[in-house]
Amino acid sequence: MKKRESGTLRKVLSLVHKLTPGYLALLLIIKMLSAALPFIGIFFSSKILDGIIRADGFDNIFKNVIIMISLVAVTILLQWGLEIIQGVKKFELKNKINQMISLKTMDIDYDILEKHETLDMIKKAEEGMSAHGDIMAFCENLAGVIERIATIIYSVALLVPLFIPKAGVLSSDAGLFCVFLNKWYSLFLLAAVLVLHVLVSFFTNKKVAKIKMDWFERNVTFNRYFSYWFNLIFDYSIGKYIRLYKMQNLITKKIVETNDKLEGECRLMVGKNIKVMFFPTLSEFVLTLTSYAYVGLKAVYALISTGSSLLYISAYKRLVDAIAGISQTFIHVKIESRYLSFFYDYMQIENKRYEGTIPTEKRDDNVFEIEFRDVSFKYANTETYALRHVNQKIKLGTKNAVVGKNGAGKTTFIKLLCRLYEPTEGQILLNGVDIRYYDYKDYAALFSVVFQDFNLFSFPVGENIAAGKDYDKARVIECIEKSGFKARFDKFEKGLDTPLFQYHDENGVEISGGEAQKLAIARALYKDAPFVIMDEPTSALDPVAEYEIYKKFDEMVEGKTSIYISHRMSSCRFCDNILVFDEGKIVEQGNHDKLMQNGGLYSSLWNAQAQYYA
């Protein structure tokens, strides 16, 4: 195997032993028992058959029957018991592997996670660990090599007497072929067809493995697309849009198109496999014909007993399957190593984010200052800058608004502030120190954020707001009241233990978009961070609820820095500082009165909405 595959082999064995000690040892013992089991029947069946032909006494024949049944029963029971234990460990191993992928995904830098290449790597890692070549199958194939080696040893031990010449058996007028069969070197006849079949099988398996691997790598993206479109059908939360906008035909068409692509690729792969399988089928036919003729003629010429012919045919077939199986197993191990390498490639993705070590300052005066110093940023796979030469200071305790047209860079500004992305150029400073030098978790703890595309989870209400299982119930309820959700909350029979949505609980409660937004605001308040950031915080609320939220904003953010992104210009009037973005730049800033006097972009945006404020 190449260096990559051999490296994967070491990693896999080390990982399996670390995650589930004893799994490999159990697997090896099970395979050894599996190898021995057929030979018990082969050996004693030949003895029983010879005994019947010789007309041995019933006691002698029955004795062999009892021994055979007892050994088979003990072996099967032992194997069965070990497989139960191994099954538990297998389940444990699979869960731990899935946990590793999940934890890695949650730990990857946000800007890396959203890339197309990363999404494909996740799909490869998942499928590499499940559908195509999971770690359990990989280990079973490795243990299968040991099983086949044991089978070869057992087979050879039983076949040795077949090639020992029998003196005084053949008459003087026996033909040359009969004499040849009684010579030790006649074994080369069976050896020749064996080598032929093994070589044909090896190259065929290698070709089939390459076809399969090429198919997988070509279609991993289409598999991901198909999963997405197919899962849409079962996501009841978007079922209303599918029905109201009559999207059934569109989604069905997407599924059919993707499925047709995969089916076409699958037919192509099957066609190639059929072509390459002709030669191993032919070689197996030649091998079977030769072995039956060789052993059968020896029995006809009385060179071996009838019972022994059964033993030799069975043992030789086992030998052939074992040797061919070893070559096939190595091919499978190689191809599975490639699949498993996707898992290791994914697990070894390195975050680009600089992991600082400086703790954020716990100042007695509780003063923080954020500064954007000539910050520019562009997203991956584009040359267009989302932000360009942004310079701005934000002090603790101030209320700030960020406004501008769609695509002006408002949300990007916030994502950079929260370190979801790193600036392409320039620096972001906290109290004069580049934020990259701060401990990331410590820095992230400074921000409570409600993005426009916020998410609630199918967890109980309390866990959704506290973002954890252990929380201060009184403070959660206080945040619910501040966010305006108290009236609905009081109707929940289970209170904070009320599950949201029905993905994981059939009794889950459905809530409206406005109610969900209130809970998202409550979650931001519960975190009690120095910076509160809200992206369109009232977009899903009715005017009365919006008014109630704005009335309580001062209470909500008392002593904190608040940043609001909003298309509703009315929300800006209570802010100390308004940042006006246009084409990735801050083109204006100041309070409402100052900006209205300037007659710039802000005033034009305000005047465009003025009729609604009246």
Residues with Cβ within 8 Å of residue 284, at least 6 apart in sequence: 197
Residue range 339-362: average pLDDT? 74
β-bridge mates for residue 358, sequence order: 438
Whether the predicted pLDDT of 136 surpasses 90: no
Where are the extended beta strands (E) located within 504-601?
531-535, 561-565, 577-582, 585-590
Task: State pLDDT tens for residues 242-300.
Answer: 666 676 777 777 777 777 776 777 777 777 777 777 777 787 788 778 877 877 777 77
What's the confidence (pLDDT) of residue 1? 42
Whether the predicted pLDDT of 375 surpasses 90: yes
What's the confidence (pLDDT) of residue 389? 92
What's the confidence (pLDDT) of residue 390? 92
Torsion of CA 596, 597, 600, 603, to 10 degrees: 20
Task: State pLDDT tens for residues 54-109.
Answer: 777 778 878 888 888 889 899 899 989 888 888 888 888 888 887 887 888 777 77
What's the confidence (pLDDT) of residue 240? 59
Torsion of CA 160, 165, 169, 175, to 10 degrees: 120
Domains of the chain: 3-347 (1.20.1560.10)
Of residues 602 and 336, more confidently modeled? 602
Q: Pairing between strand 531-535 and 561-565?
A: parallel
Task: State pLDDT tens for residues 453-484.
Answer: 777 787 888 888 888 888 888 998 988 888 88
Whether the predicted pLDDT of 133 surpasses 60: no
What's the confidence (pLDDT) of residue 427? 93
Residue 462 to residues 134, 475, 489, 528, Cα–Cα distance (Å): 38, 10, 11, 16
- Smallest Cα–Cα separation from 340: which of 141, 142, 124, 99? 124
What's the confidence (pLDDT) of residue 544? 65
Q: Which run of H or E residues covers position 166?
A: none
Residue range 211-236: average pLDDT? 66
What's the confidence (pLDDT) of residue 184? 77
- How many C-beta atoms surround the C-beta of residue 244 within 10 A? 8
Residue range 8-18: average pLDDT? 80
Q: Which run of H or E residues covers position 377?
A: strand 369-377
Model confidence band, residue 232 (pLDDT cutoffs 50, 70, 90): low
Both tokens of 586, joined, read 């801050």
What's the confidence (pLDDT) of residue 175? 62
Q: Fill in the DSSP letter of residue 510.
A: P
Whether the predicted pLDDT of 602 surpasses 50: yes
The full length of the chain comes to 614
Q: What are phi and psi of 66, to 5 degrees?
A: -65, -45
Task: Give the integer Cα–Cα distance in Å for 194 and 196.
Answer: 5
Whether the predicted pLDDT of 391 surpasses 90: yes
* Long-range contacts of 226-230, Cβ-Cβ distance < 8 Å, separation of 24 or more: 226/255, 226/258, 226/259, 226/262, 227/123, 229/254, 229/255, 229/258, 230/255
- Smallest Cα–Cα separation from 331: which of 158, 486, 213? 213
SS3 string of 183-229? CHHHHHHHHHHHHHHHHHHHHHHHHHHHHHHHHHHHHHHHHHHHHHH
**Candidate from 72-86, 208-222, 565-579 with smallest mean pLDDT:** 208-222
What's the confidence (pLDDT) of residue 569? 74
Residues with Cβ within 8 Å of residue 410, at least 6 apart in sequence: 402, 403, 404, 535, 565, 581
Residue range 226-254: average pLDDT? 67
Task: Give the integer Cα–Cα distance in Å for 147 and 552.
Answer: 72
